[in-house]
Amino acid sequence: MSTLSIFSLGGVYEIGKNMYGVQYGDDIVLIDCGSKFPDESLLGIDLIIPDITYLLENPEKVRGLIVTHGHEDHIGGIPYVLRQFNMPIYGTRLTLGLIEEKLKEHGLLQNTKRIPIDSKSVVNLGAFTISFFQTNHSIPDCLGVVFDTPMGTVVHTGDFKFDLTPVHKQSPDLHRMAEIGKKGVLVLLSESTNAERPGFTPSEKHVGDHLREAFAKAKHKVFVSTFASNLYRLQQVIDAAILTNRKLMLLGRSMVNVVRIASEQGYLHVPEGMLVEPEEANQLDRHRLAILCTGSQGEPNAALSRLSTSNYRHVKVEAGDTVILSASPIPGNEKNVSRIVDNLFILGAHVIYGSGSATGMHVSGHGSQEELKLMLTLMKPAYFIPIHGEYRMLHQHRLLAESVGMERDDVFIVNIGDVVDFTDGVPKQERKIPAGSTLVDGFGIGDVGTVILRDRKHLSQDGILVVVVTRSKADGKILLGPELISRGFVFAPEAEGLMEEASRVGLEALLKLQGEGVNQWGRVKQGLKESIGQFLYAKTKRRPMILPIIMDV
């Protein structure tokens, strides 16, 4: 019997870029391929995707990619990974619809095999018979994945909550989960996003109540900002607008796109004639209009931010309007969100902001501790791998597993690249495969590494000083310079004296080296760097990057 191996290429010890793999012998099936946004330390980087070295080393073994749902942290890496390595993609109708938008942008649609599935599908890939179960999250058509393998059953939950009063009909399929658990699960991979949060996450319906109330109270326009992908939320905003006899305007590219795709596919119900364009909206009474917009996380170029600085021609936030932030700020975004809230208040709007639990205007799409325990109890796996979360979340999820009766030794906390190998049904966490973060910058995938980032960091702090010296090729005599050009260091018109002094210091260092008979480029450059660098630090307490250039003519 072969070894059954489970690994993560992204999504553990981090939030985002989820990618997991199940391998049996020569068959690898992947689950999800997400992206995440860089933090401020990764200067100039656009996106982070999983490092797929392991797949590039084993291309003949990869049978396909199963996508659990259409969120960026599960699909955002797909076009970049496909540019390195093509494979068939399995997903539900909505999920594939969202992926296809990306493939089109990257010119990959023609060459990528896409296989629609639903919660009733059964897919045979190599040694695996793969089936699914319906879960409930903040986007429709979410799947959990069940791998029947020769060694036993592997379950991957995808993202989930147990919303028992869902807005659409997509209830979590408790009966199917119970059935899977009853038949026996060798290992469960379950998401840990809210493992730190006690209790049970409130139902999405809860938000609908508050939205309707706010719409009913509002005397003028109502703006609602939320994640475009949260179709349940969008539907509830649409319903509140209908109820209060308002037309609806959409602001923000992703909002317009998602509403189009989801309406076409039947996931969203917008009455004929309800949507208005800005020109038409302008003609309406203020209390006859609602606006759905992007930017709830404070993204500087998104609609809400532009509204807060009155940066749209056809629609303005005016005194007396209501603005609802139907989202909780994700850690790291608080400042940007607060700045927008400040500006909206300055415009005289009534702003409903803050955490969803305080305002009732947002609920999480992820299950809290009681729901994670419910999943563990339904699946009663022999072994458990908490996924989808930073270390403390995985750790808390392990404690939850222990609280429902699992042994600590049967829970495996893995980092990306760690492999859990099952031989004769017995797990062992010893082996590693290549894994990491691949940085996307412009067209470059993975070409920006530590050297470039270190240089960007240095440049960002104190700027650069280019030092150009022209020497005679014949006798090494200094013909011109040192000429100093700076950017991001000091403001040249104000620092002329400083620059002249620094040039003199450089020249002295050059002449001294010449006097000592030193004229190799390396040594001369080092001499310029050190002398000018020390001089400037003593004068300014700043350390610009110093880039000496020596031209021998």
Residue 56 makes contact with a second copy by CB under 8 A = no
Residue 487 makes contact with a second copy by CB under 8 A = yes
Residue 47 makes contact with a second copy by CB under 8 A = no
- Interface mask toward a second copy for 112-151; x: CB under 8 A: ----------------------------------------
What is the identity of the amino acid at 326? Answer: S
Residue 463 makes contact with a second copy by CB under 8 A = yes
Choose between 131 and 297: whose C-beta lies nearer to a second copy.
Answer: 297
Report the C-alpha gap between 81 and 50 in whole angstroms.
8
Report the C-alpha gap between 326 and 363 in whole angstroms.
9
List the 27-31 sheet strands across, edge first: 114-116, 89-91, 62-66, 27-31, 19-24, 4-10, 418-423, 426-432
Residue 409 makes contact with a second copy by CB under 8 A = no
Residue 460 makes contact with a second copy by CB under 8 A = yes
Size of the site for a second copy (CB under 8 A): 67
Instruction: Please pick, from the candidates 284, 452, 507, 518, the single residue that binds a second copy as defined by CB under 8 A.
Output: 452
Instruction: Please pick, from the candidates 346, 423, 476, 511, the single residue that binds a second copy as defined by CB under 8 A.
Output: 346
Contacting range for a second copy; rule: CB under 8 A; set: 96-104, 129-137, 384-392, 519-527? 384-392
CB of 50: closest distance to a second copy in angstroms?
A: 19
Report the C-alpha gap between 536 and 542 in whole angstroms.
7
Choose between 405 and 449: whose C-beta lies nearer to a second copy.
Answer: 449
Choose between 154 and 341: whose C-beta lies nearer to a second copy.
Answer: 341
DSSP output for 218-278:
-SS-EEEE--TT-HHHHHHHHHHHHHTT-EEEEESHHHHHHHHHHHHTTSS---TT-B--H
Q: How far is CA 547 from CA 162, 336, 354, 463, 525, in A?
A: 59, 36, 48, 11, 8
CB of 490: closest distance to a second copy in angstroms?
A: 7
Report the C-alpha gap between 312 and 453 in whole angstroms.
36
Residue 478 makes contact with a second copy by CB under 8 A = no
CB of 303: closest distance to a second copy in angstroms?
A: 20
Instruction: Please pick, from the candidates 152, 239, 345, 382, the single residue that binds a second copy as defined by CB under 8 A.
Output: 345
Contacting range for a second copy; rule: CB under 8 A; set: 93-101, 150-158, 179-187, 456-464? 456-464
Q: Confirm whether residue 366 is marked as ligand binding.
A: yes
CA angle in degrees (0–180, nearest 5) for 376-382-385: 65
Instruction: Please pick, from the candidates 408, 491, 517, 522, the single residue that binds a second copy as defined by CB under 8 A.
Output: 491
- Interface mask toward a second copy for 298-327; x: CB under 8 A: ------------------------------
Residue 223 makes contact with a second copy by CB under 8 A = no
Choose between 282 and 470: whose C-beta lies nearer to a second copy.
Answer: 470
Residue 12 makes contact with a second copy by CB under 8 A = no
Q: Which of residues 492-521 bind a second copy (CB under 8 A)?
A: 494-495
Q: Confirm whether residue 365 is marked as ligand binding.
A: yes
Measuring CA to CA, which residue among 235, 183, 190 is closest to residue 208?
235
Diameter over CA atoms, the chain: 88
Choose between 8 and 134: whose C-beta lies nearer to a second copy.
Answer: 8
Q: Confirm whether residue 363 is marked as ligand binding.
A: yes
List the 122-125 sheet strands across, edge first: 122-125, 128-135, 142-149, 152-156, 187-191, 383-387
Report the C-alpha gap between 510 and 523 in whole angstroms.
10
How are beta strands 444-445 and 128-135 bridged, if at all? unpaired
Residue 286 makes contact with a second copy by CB under 8 A = no
Residue 40 makes contact with a second copy by CB under 8 A = yes
Residues in the chain, total: 553
Q: Which two tokens stand for residue 244?
A: 């209060």
Residue 284 makes contact with a second copy by CB under 8 A = no
Residue 475 makes contact with a second copy by CB under 8 A = no
Residue 423 makes contact with a second copy by CB under 8 A = no
Q: What is the 3-state secondary structure (H, E, C) of 155-173?
A: EECCCCECCCCCCCCCCCC
Burial zone of 251 (CB within 10 Å; 0-12 exposed, 13-18 middle, 19+ buried)? buried
Residue that has been written with the tokens 């209390």 in this structure:
287
Q: How far is CA 89 from CA 100, 102, 244, in A?
A: 11, 13, 42
Residue 359 makes contact with a second copy by CB under 8 A = no
Q: What is the 3-state secondary structure (H, E, C) of 500-513?
A: HHHHHHHHHHHHHH
- Which residues, other chains included, contact 102 with Cβ-Cβ below 8 Å and sequence gap of 6+? 75, 76, 78, 79
CA angle in degrees (0–180, nearest 5) for 141-147-151: 165
Q: Which of residues 144-173 bind a second copy (CB under 8 A)?
A: none
Q: How far is CA 484 from CA 489, 501, 512, 533, in A?
A: 12, 10, 19, 12
Contacting range for a second copy; rule: CB under 8 A; set: 64-72, 244-252, 278-286, 488-496? 488-496
Contacting range for a second copy; rule: CB under 8 A; set: 133-141, 252-260, 455-463, 516-524? 455-463
Q: Which two tokens stand for residue 129?
A: 């018979």
Choose between 220 and 456: whose C-beta lies nearer to a second copy.
Answer: 456
Report the C-alpha gap between 306 and 529 in whole angstroms.
45
Choose between 6 and 45: whose C-beta lies nearer to a second copy.
Answer: 45
Summarize as ranges the residues that interact with a second copy (CB under 8 A).
13, 39-40, 43-44, 196, 331-332, 334-335, 338, 341-343, 345-346, 351, 353-354, 390-392, 395, 441-444, 447-449, 451-453, 455-464, 466, 468, 470, 479-481, 483, 485, 487-491, 494-495, 539-542, 545, 547, 549, 551, 553
- Residues flagged as binding site for substrate: 362-366
